[in-house]
Amino acid sequence: MEVIDFGANKKRQAHCFFAGCVITWFRTLAQQSYISQQDLNHLYFVLLMEIEQILASIKEV
Amino acid sequence: MALAIFDLDKTLIKGDSDFLWGKFLSEIGAVDADIYQSKNQYFFDQYVLGELDINEYLEFCLMPLSQYSMQTLNQWHQQFMSQKIEQILLPKAQAVVDMHKAKGDTVIVITATNRFVTVPIVARYGIEHLLATNPEIKEGQYTGKVEGEPCFQSGKINHLNKWLKETGENIKGASFYSDSYNDLPMLELIDYPIVVHGDDKLNALAIERGWKRLDWI
């Protein structure tokens, strides 16, 4: 099977898009009062740090 | 939702827009290159050391705005964006701005650099709110003076407080991203201070206080 490499930029964009989707979902949970605003902030920063590490680990091929 | 506040120079962009604007003016011959560049470098070094006299600096950097028409300045700014700024925009910074928007936060840029230089850069990131040093305009022409207080060090807090009063927003749960020790008053005020490729002084303090540190370059 041929492995397609989409390149570093596409990978970064995909991760950022995914993170945006997760954040939007967290926001919906906060709006529905399933989580507090403080929880939302905490989850945001956890995700931000994870994304930071993922983006840093993506190398140019 | 909360406020997400960003410094501009060396935080959202990989460079100092005010310094680069001065360099651009020298390159196109709008100012005497040798004199302007050496003064520009002097003020930049003072800023990095945290010893900048903001009033002396603003007198220097706003002076060229008073010598040309608004139309000429706007044309130059378009060239400046393509020649100096496009190359130093940071995709990771854009991602963080977008994540804050997805979270429902109000995104603001707060910068010491004057509004003329910064409006198009901030718009390029899709950010609606900008608090900056305001160059005075009279009869459709920049005067070379500052209107109100410079948006620098504790002046940033005063600009922010004025904006909060006007908009009815509040800083509860706000985050602030900056690279510079000059922003310490703001970093200490905000619930979530985040250091982005910080200078040596700020990095040392961030480690001591356990503040989050990021690198977008």
Question: Per-residue DSSP letters for chain B?
Answer: --EEEE--BTTTBSS-HHHHHHHHHHHTTSS-HHHHHHHHHHHHHHHHHT---HHHHHHHHHGGGGGS-HHHHHHHHHHHIIIIIGGGB-HHHHHHHHHHHHHTPEEEEEEEEEHHHHHHHHHHTT--EEEEEEEEEETTEEEEEEESS-SSTHHHHHHHHHHHHHH----TT-EEEE--GGGHHHHHHSSEEEEES--HHHHHHHHHHT-EEE---
The contact set of B with A (CB < 8 A) is 1-2, 91-92, 95-96, 98-100, 102-104, 173, 175, 191-192, 212, 214-215
3-state secondary structure of A7: coil
Residues of A in contact with B192 (CB under 8 A): 41, 45
pLDDT tens for each residue of A9-50: 788 888 888 888 898 889 899 889 999 888 888 888 888 888
In the DSSP assignment, the letter for residue A35 is S
> What's the pLDDT score for residue B108?
98
- Chain mean position to CA B75: 21
| Section A2-15 average pLDDT | 74
- Inter-chain CB proximity A44 and B91 less than 8 Å: no
CATH topology of domain B17-87: de novo design (two linked rop proteins) (1.20.1440)
Of A12, A21, A40, Cβ closest to residue B91: A12
ipTM attached to this prediction? 0.71
- Inter-chain CB proximity B95 and A55 less than 8 Å: yes
> What's the pLDDT score for residue B89?
96
- The Cα–Cα gap between B13 and B118 comes to 11
Stated pTM of the model = 0.89
Computed on alpha carbons and rounded to an integer, the radius of gyration of chain A in Å comes to 15
pLDDT tens for each residue of B47-93: 888 888 999 999 999 999 999 999 999 999 999 999 999 999 998 89
> What's the pLDDT score for residue B49?
84
- Helix then strand then coil, % of chain A, to nearest 5: 75, 0, 25
Structure confidence at residue B137 as a pLDDT band (50, 70, 90): very high
Q: What is the mean pLDDT of chain B?
A: 94
- C-alpha dist (Å) from residue B63 to A41, B6, B48: 43, 27, 22
Given a cut of 60, is residue B110 above it in pLDDT? yes
pLDDT tens for each residue of B7-22: 999 999 999 999 999 9
Structure confidence at residue A5 as a pLDDT band (50, 70, 90): low
Residues of A in contact with B196 (CB under 8 A): none
Of B92, B99, B192, Cβ closest to residue A20: B99
- Provide the percentage of residues in chain B whose pLDDT is more than 90: 86
The contact set of A with B (CB < 8 A) is 9, 12, 16, 19-21, 23-24, 26-27, 37-38, 40-41, 44-45, 47-49, 51-52, 55-56
Domain boundaries, chain B: 3-14+89-210, 17-87
- Inter-chain CB proximity A12 and B2 less than 8 Å: no
> What's the pLDDT score for residue A3?
60
Domain boundaries, chain A: 9-57
- C-alpha dist (Å) from residue B135 to B2, B140, B154: 29, 12, 18
- The residues that bridge with B194 in the sheet, in sequence order, are B177, B212
> What's the pLDDT score for residue A2?
61
Residue range B3-14+89-210 forms a domain whose CATH class is alpha beta
- Inter-chain CB proximity A23 and B95 less than 8 Å: no
pLDDT tens for each residue of B165-188: 999 999 999 999 999 998 999 999
